[in-house]
């Protein structure tokens, strides 16, 4: 399992809702964000003198619940005293930014998080207020009671749950690091898989389940089991991926080792593998848990495993033949979609099995907004969230959520 926490990557964080002056250059004729000193952030950025400006490399991101991928921009921001030409007045430090593709998207009222990374750079994330992204960022960085003034976060004791780790990496923050014992795991992985290429996801997942230490009983604790399996596999995957990437870097790209197109192709393949593999691993671990519980089901893979409009649900209980049999009782049919993160993709599940009015979707996504879960309810979608991750939701949401064990019990009860 991973042993790192958010404070291993960040040294300070603060957040606020943008004012008109922060977001609209027309309101102040500037591109400045103020208020960071009041949140204690000056100790992370320093105190430039009257004739000084501190420049920080920065990654600016605009992300919404609906967008498939965040908008990114990298550049520099300037930390300076905006009253430096007024020696009779006390210093007022502000963060100046240049107009770019991200700042053109921001508006008054957006949530802004500013984080100082351990490498000295800044991470600035903008998102609409009250979104799931805001909820998740506040959870991730220990932010409470955010208002129109910067509020500091508390990083010390926040562990990186796998869903939050995946979220950070989606935002372009690499959170993998070498830990004690990684060499032992790498030796075993090379011995088993050869050390030259990735095995299939099914083979890698199978080894991950067999090799996990401190095994949780999947029959008694299915919710914790699927999380432990996923986290252990993610750790092993990053260890093996680091080895394979380093190996390719030593060999270079193309005949002379400097083929740019081949390098870009390789880089894209690394990113695409990360995205696709985690979803397939999630489905594979769920498949194993369902089999251990003796459930009858089929996955929407291969020819013939479809419902209306050629849709391919992730899981149908007890199977596609029963689903197509109009004589088979509807109350004994279940459909389960599986998405490690929902975003706006949960709507895809709604059209995948018309006979089943209440559809289920299991996710590892933390802290989805109340407005989004309310919309799910209104469309007849029941969200399934492992119990540990349910703690990131509000009390009212948790009354509605069901765990993986609860879902398994429902299917078992209906099959009697």
**What tens digit of pLDDT does each residue of 52-82 get?**
889 999 999 999 988 778 899 999 999 988 7
The rounded distance, in Å, linking the Cα atoms of 363 and 344 is 13
Among all residues, which ones are annotated catalytic?
A: 323
pLDDT for 340 equals: 92
Query: CA angle, corner 368, sides to 362 and 372, nearest 5?
Result: 95
183 exposure class (CB count in 10 Å sphere: 0-12, 13-18, 19+): exposed
* Count of C-beta atoms within a 10 Å radius of residue 354: 12
pLDDT for 84 equals: 65
DSSP E strands, 231-372: 298-299, 315-317, 334-339, 359-363
The rounded distance, in Å, linking the Cα atoms of 365 and 386 is 10
Ranges of the chain with pLDDT below 50: 29
CATH architecture of the domain formed by 298-415: 3-Layer(aba) Sandwich (3.40)
Fold annotation for 12-146+154-170: At1g16640 B3 domain (2.40.330)
Return the bridge partners of 159, or none: 5
The rounded distance, in Å, linking the Cα atoms of 177 and 242 is 10
Q: What is the CATH number of domain 182-284?
A: 3.40.91.80
Instruction: Taking the CA atoms of 387, 392, 398 and 402 in sequence, report the sign of the dihedral they define.
Output: negative
CB hemisphere CA count around 34 (13 angstroms):
11
| In the chain, where the domains are located | 12-146+154-170, 182-284, 298-415
Identify the CA nearest to 235 among candidates 169, 190, 178, 158: 178
- Check if the beta carbon of residue 344 is closer than 8 Å to that of residue 365: no
Q: Which residue carries 């770019």 as its tokens?
A: 100
**What tens digit of pLDDT does each residue of 146-173 get?**
888 888 888 866 677 788 888 888 888 8
The rounded distance, in Å, linking the Cα atoms of 153 and 15 is 8
The rounded radius of gyration (Å) of the Cα atoms in the chain is 24
pLDDT for 274 equals: 82
Burial 289-315 (b: 16+ CB within 10 A, else e): bbeebebebbbbeeeeebbeeeeebbb
pLDDT for 27 equals: 55
**What tens digit of pLDDT does each residue of 178-197 get?**
677 789 999 999 999 999 99
12-146+154-170 and 182-284 share one fold:
no
């Amino acid at each position: 399992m991973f042993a790192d926490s958010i404070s291993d990557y960040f040294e300070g964080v603060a957040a606020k809702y943008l004012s008109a002056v922060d977001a609209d250059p027309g309101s102040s004729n500037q591109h400045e964000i103020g208020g960071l000193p009041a949140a204690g952030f000056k100790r992370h950025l320093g105190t430039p003198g009257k004739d000084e400006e501190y420049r920080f490399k920065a990654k600016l991101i605009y992300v919404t619940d609906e967008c498939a991928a965040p908008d990114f921009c990298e550049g520099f921001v300037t930390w300076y005293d905006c009253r430096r030409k007024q020696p009779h007045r006390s210093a007022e430090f502000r963060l100046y930014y240049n107009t770019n593709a991200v700042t053109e998207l921001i508006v008054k009222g957006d949530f802004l998080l500013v984080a100082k990374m351990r490498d000295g750079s800044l991470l600035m994330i903008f998102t609409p207020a009250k979104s799931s992204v805001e909820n998740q960022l506040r959870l991730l960085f220990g932010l409470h009671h955010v208002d129109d003034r910067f509020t500091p976060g508390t990083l010390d004791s926040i562990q990186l749950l796998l869903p939050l780790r995946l979220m950070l990496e989606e935002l372009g923050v690499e959170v993998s690091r070498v830990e004690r014992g990684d060499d032992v795991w790498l030796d075993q992985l090379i011995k088993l898989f050869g050390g030259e290429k990735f095995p299939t996801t099914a083979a890698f997942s199978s080894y991950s389940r067999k090799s996990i230490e401190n095994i949780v009983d999947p029959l008694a604790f299915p919710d914790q089991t699927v999380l432990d399996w996923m986290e252990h596999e993610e750790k092993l995957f990053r260890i093996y991926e680091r080895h394979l990437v380093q190996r390719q870097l030593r060999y270079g790209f193309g005949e002379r080792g400097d083929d740019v197109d081949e390098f870009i192709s390789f880089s894209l393949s690394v990113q695409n593998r990360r995205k696709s593999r985690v979803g397939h691993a999630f489905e594979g671990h769920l498949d194993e848990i369902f089999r251990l519980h003796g459930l009858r089901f089929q996955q929407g893979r291969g020819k013939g495993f479809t419902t209306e409009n050629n849709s391919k649900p992730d899981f149908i209980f007890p199977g596609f033949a029963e689903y197509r049999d109009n004589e088979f009782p509807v109350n004994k049919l279940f459909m389960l979609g599986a998405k490690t993160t929902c975003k706006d993709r949960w709507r895809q599940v709604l059209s995948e099995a018309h006979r089943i009015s209440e559809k289920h979707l299991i996710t590892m996504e933390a802290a989805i907004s109340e407005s989004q879960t309310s919309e799910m309810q209104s469309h007849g979608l029941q969200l399934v969230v492992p119990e540990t991750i349910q703690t990131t939701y509000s009390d009212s949401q948790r009354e509605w959520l069901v765990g993986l064990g609860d879902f398994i019990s429902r299917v078992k009860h209906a099959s009697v």
